[in-house]
Amino acid sequence: MLETTIAGSLPKPVWLATPGVLWAPWQLPPERLAEGQRDAVLLALRDQERAGIDVVTDGEQARRHFVHAFVEGLGGIDPTRRVTIGIRGDRYKAEVPSVVGPLRRTRPVHTDEVRWARANTERRLKFTLPGPMTMADTVADTHYRDRARLAMDCAAALNAEARELAALGVDVIQLDEPAFNVDAYFDEVKSWGIEALDRAIEGLACTTAVHICYGYGIRANIEWKRMLGSEWRQYERTFPLLAASRIDQVSVECAGSRVPFELLRLLEGKDALLGVIDVATERVETPEEVAATIRRAMEFVPPTRLCPCTNCGMAPLPREVARGKLAALGRGAALVRAELGTGATR
Ligand code: ZN
């Protein structure tokens, strides 16, 4: 119980990508990039293992952007036709590729990355993919003109990919759906977002998770959070829908957030990926602080259903800060496990 994991991304080594920059360009020439990414994955795995993280990821070392890495591997996308659009309810602008025809998965996208990560860790492995609604929100659509239809084709492509990744030994497939947390999208979440999510995980033999968060610690998100008032209740509308979905695990941003902990009750029957590490600050939590967040959550969720996690990806943080936060996550969970008399999880 209290098995630890991370949202997904970790900072990249300075020789691979410019530090401290989101979606940073690669520092290696194309002919040396794949080897550099593989080396970086080994470092990301070792850092998590040393910190005692139970379910590890590849740190997303082989992708610049959490949506475009997958999207640009699909048919129907023109990655060279890039357009700047407002995304997440126009919270910020992003340069995105264009949808120019029916979205189809014509080849595997992430299988080589998964084979490498799987071959290089004994721990359980999680792999992250963008959620269908977030995919549809992060492209310039010139073909469908209908977000629901676009998202359902995204879901079918995700499902084909996820089945292949699970067969390669991935233990957890996580879909990142920050679009679920955008107030302006709630009606769409209800009318087709959950259906698209369920379609993406249909028939998967592995554990499935959805990551919903308040974003990286970038300025647009910090300003958005300031406008959300004294209690952040966005989850209150999505959690009952997710509780009725097929997803196994749902992430919750609880470290340094204003999310009322009682909202965790709405996830009954699901595992909560409990955000106990704040990615919007470079201050490293103490293990005691992490333990305190876990204990608060245990008032509403049994420890067998809690997986201590980071609030969101740690890609934009300095590496030493991320390592410190990983260690705090591992030690904080161990403190509470010791109190419960269960000791190590393995
Ligand atoms: Zn996130």
Q: Model pTM? A: 0.95
CA 191 to ligand 1 center in whole angstroms: 23
Residue 214 pLDDT grade (very low, low, confident, very high; cuts 50, 70, 90): confident
Residue 250's DSSP bridge partners are 210, 272
Q: How many percent of the chain have pLDDT more than 70?
A: 99
Place of tokens 């084709």: 153
What does R_g of the chain's alpha carbons equal in angstroms? 19
CA 341 to ligand 1 center in whole angstroms: 32
CA 272 to ligand 1 center in whole angstroms: 14
CA 342 to ligand 1 center in whole angstroms: 30
CA 27 to ligand 1 center in whole angstroms: 25
CA 252 to ligand 1 center in whole angstroms: 10
Reported as a single tens digit per residue, the pLDDT across 2-14 is: 999 999 999 999 9
**Section 270-282 average pLDDT:** 96
**Section 265-292 average pLDDT:** 97
**Section 9-27 average pLDDT:** 92
CA 310 to ligand 1 center in whole angstroms: 9
Domain ranges of the chain: 30-340
Helix and strand numbers (H, E) in the chain are 11, 10
Q: What is the model's pLDDT at position 267?
A: 95
Tell me: pLDDT of 268 over 90. Answer: yes
CB atoms within 10 A of CB 288: 11
CA 214 to ligand 1 center in whole angstroms: 6
CA 96 to ligand 1 center in whole angstroms: 18
CA 128 to ligand 1 center in whole angstroms: 11
CA 31 to ligand 1 center in whole angstroms: 31
CA 330 to ligand 1 center in whole angstroms: 20
CA 220 to ligand 1 center in whole angstroms: 14
CA 178 to ligand 1 center in whole angstroms: 6
As given in the structure block, the two tokens for residue 317 are: 């943080």
**Section 234-242 average pLDDT:** 94
Q: At what angle do helices 287-297 and 319-340 cross, to 10 degrees?
A: 50
In order of 136, 180, 249, the CA distances from 192 in angstroms are 12, 11, 19
CA 311 to ligand 1 center in whole angstroms: 7
As given in the structure block, the two tokens for residue 114 are: 């998964």
CATH architecture for segment(s) 30-340: Alpha-Beta Barrel (3.20)
In order of 183, 273, 326, the CA distances from 8 in angstroms are 24, 12, 12
- What is the enclosing helix (H) or strand (E) of 40? helix 30-50
- Measure the CA–CA gap between 104 and 76, rounded to whole angstroms: 6
Task: Report long-range pairs for 41-49 (Cβ below 8 Å, ≥24 apart).
Answer: 41/113, 41/116, 41/117, 41/120, 42/120, 43/13, 44/10, 45/117, 45/120, 45/121, 45/123, 47/10, 47/322, 47/323, 47/326, 48/6, 48/10, 48/123, 48/326, 49/121, 49/123
Tell me: pLDDT of 344 over 70. Answer: no
CA 7 to ligand 1 center in whole angstroms: 7
Q: Which amino acid is at 65?
A: H
CA 279 to ligand 1 center in whole angstroms: 9
Is 136 exposed, middle or buried (CB count within 10 Å of its CB: 0-12, 13-18, 19+)? Answer: buried
Tell me: pLDDT of 345 over 90. Answer: no
Reported as a single tens digit per residue, the pLDDT across 50-102 is: 999 999 999 999 999 889 999 999 999 999 999 999 998 888 899 999 999 99
CA 250 to ligand 1 center in whole angstroms: 12
Q: What is the model's pLDDT at position 165?
A: 98
**Section 14-37 average pLDDT:** 93
CA 9 to ligand 1 center in whole angstroms: 9
| Cβ–Cβ under 8 Å, residues 100 and 41 | no
CA 79 to ligand 1 center in whole angstroms: 24
CA 212 to ligand 1 center in whole angstroms: 6
